[in-house]
Structure 1
């Protein structure tokens, strides 16, 4: 009977240890969940910010396009006019 009792006590201790481990795992999961929740809210705020930035970026895009167009046209105008000067000089000689 005593051996049986000792074995039961050992079993109980083991189960207690397992229980404690599960509790620790539960706590970890809880903290993980809160962390993930925090991450999710962060992502949402980032998305909101990006959404607010998008129209600004579109405006920037338009501006860049107009700048590119002006640069291109002025470049073409200057090259053509300088070519015109070259051709005129060649025609004069």
Structure 2
């Protein structure tokens, strides 16, 4: 799946892939609790990133992780499924 997305976008850069998929990226103050989050509002998707990681290499992994949630169609859940979803999003980002 990751290779297909990379080939479709001619890049593996998650910032460019998000832009190509019309996913807006916004930097906000999460404090130290969180580095990123995918939110869905009606037909819009937004990746929120912590201002603490702006310009850092870590931001590429965080955006890729949030793209994983988007591509894998994860829902925001509070259950055992959330643990699985986080593992899958990490695996997607690592690929």
Please, what TM-score do these two structures have when normalized by structure 1?
0.20
Q: Which is richer in strand? A: 2
Q: Which is richer in helix? A: 1
Bigger radius of gyration among the two: 1
Please, what TM-score do these two structures have when normalized by structure 2?
0.19
